[in-house]
């Protein structure tokens, strides 16, 4: 047998994996091995460093609970979630459809249902706002009975999972559009927040001397029968960290500003944002933009 060396090892691994029957899995694993080996050669990775990395990844896994997803946070903070979303958008987003943004680690299935302009702040208190507008198709027609799911921090910058007993749901809700595609969410003005810094990903971010902050935002997931699921978020333009989001979620088209006495607001006395979300028809084989959640549990009703 030929002795393996730094140059021949990569091909030997790929040759052994060539028996993989699933062609996509074979392609992905081949590329992964090539790039991982190239990375290790590039930085001259030492055994101690690799053991340190394995220890880090182990701790990332151990930090995960039913209420906390440290791997999504890792994927977000190194820009991988955004990259996957950008590529998915490029491949599947059509026409004027709204840009995607990150699902993030705080999404929860089975959020409570609310009526038009009903407040999803059932426990938290703070300055209120209205988010309203329409869900539109590619031709600009309203999409009736679409599910608009919103979730966000309270006015102190905490998600329900952080502020309460994790069984409690607050500051999240599911709304349905009317016959013309109108939706309205009454909520609190969200506050920007630090990503969870008490785990291994937070330690990494601190070591890199990054601020770890996300600008204030409202997560929105729009689902309707026959349409591509939209996972996005709206970012409040007044936030000081709007240009330096730790998880790279902000796009210019998703930046909004609160306005007083906005025409059409269901509660004009409250600061309001009007935003029309555009969704595309679902193409065959299209996938969800969600990283980390089970799409079967959010199908439009
Ligand atoms: Fe968030």
Domains of the chain: 79-297 (2.60.130.10)
- Contact between 129 and 181 under an 8 Å Cβ cutoff? The reply is no
Residue 301 predicted with pLDDT over 50: no
- Ligand 1 geometric centre to CA of 48 (Å): 35
Between CA 138 and CA 205 the distance in angstroms is: 40
Reduced to 3 states (helix: H, G, I; strand: E, B; else coil), residue 130 is: strand
More confident position, 252 or 90: 252
- Contact between 180 and 137 under an 8 Å Cβ cutoff? The reply is no
Question: According to the model, what pLDDT value does residue 147 have?
Answer: 97
Nearby residues for ligand 1 (ion, Cβ within 5 Å): 104
Active site residue 193: yes
Residue pLDDT, tens place only, 52-79: 999 999 999 999 998 788 999 999 999 9
- Ligand 1 geometric centre to CA of 71 (Å): 15
Among the listed residues 37, 82, 134, 214, the single catalytic one is 214
- Contact between 212 and 205 under an 8 Å Cβ cutoff? The reply is yes
Question: According to the model, what pLDDT value does residue 287 have?
Answer: 61
Based on the number of CB atoms within 10 Å of its own CB, is 227 exposed (0-12), middle (13-18) or buried (19 or more)?
buried
Between CA 220 and CA 191 the distance in angstroms is: 16
Calculate the alpha carbon distances from 129 to 94, 132, 135, 247, 258 in Å: 31, 10, 19, 25, 8
Residue pLDDT, tens place only, 148-178: 999 999 998 999 988 878 788 999 999 999 9
Between CA 274 and CA 253 the distance in angstroms is: 13
Residue pLDDT, tens place only, 90-125: 887 877 899 999 887 788 989 999 999 999 999 999
Active site residue 217: yes
Exposed e or buried b for every residue in 123-160, given b needs 16+ CB within 10 A? ebebebbbbbbbbbbeeeebbeebbbbbbbbbbebbbb
Between CA 110 and CA 94 the distance in angstroms is: 29
Among the listed residues 174, 219, 228, 278, the single catalytic one is 219
Question: According to the model, what pLDDT value does residue 112 have?
Answer: 97
Calculate the alpha carbon distances from 46 to 6, 9, 49, 223 in Å: 14, 17, 5, 47
């Amino acid at each position: 047998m030929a002795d393996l060396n730094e140059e021949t090892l990569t091909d030997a691994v790929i040759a052994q994996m060539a028996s993989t029957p699933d062609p996509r899995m074979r392609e992905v694993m081949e590329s992964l091995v090539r790039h991982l080996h190239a990375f290790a050669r590039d930085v001259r990775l030492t055994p101690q460093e690799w053991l340190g990395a394995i220890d880090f990844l182990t701790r990332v896994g151990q930090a995960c609970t039913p209420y906390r997803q440290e791997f999504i946070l890792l994927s977000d903070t190194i820009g991988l979630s955004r990259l996957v979303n950008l590529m998915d958008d490029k491949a599947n987003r059509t026409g004027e459809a709204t840009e995607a943004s990150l699902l993030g680690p705080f999404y929860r299935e089975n959020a409570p249902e609310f009526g038009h302009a009903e407040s999803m702040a059932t426990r938290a208190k703070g300055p209120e706002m209205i988010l309203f507008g329409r869900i539109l198709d590619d031709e600009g027609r309203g999409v009736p009975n679409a599910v608009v799911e919103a979730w966000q921090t309270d006015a102190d910058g905490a998600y329900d999972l952080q502020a309460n007993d994790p069984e409690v749901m607050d500051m999240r809700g599911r709304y349905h559009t009317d016959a013309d595609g109108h939706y309205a969410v009454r909520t609190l003005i969200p506050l920007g927040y630090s990503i969870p810094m008490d785990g291994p990903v937070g330690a990494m971010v601190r070591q890199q001397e990054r601020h770890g902050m996300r600008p204030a935002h409202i997560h929105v997931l729009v689902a309707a029968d026959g349409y591509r699921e939209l996972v996005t978020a709206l970012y409040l333009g007044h936030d000081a960290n709007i240009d330096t989001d730790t998880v790279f979620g902000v796009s210019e088209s998703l930046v909004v500003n609160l306005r007083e006495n906005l025409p059409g607001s269901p509660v004009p006395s409250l600061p309001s944002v009007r935003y029309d979300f555009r969704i595309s028809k679902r193409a065959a084989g299209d996938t969800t933009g969600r990283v980390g959640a089970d799409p079967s549990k959010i199908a439009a009703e």
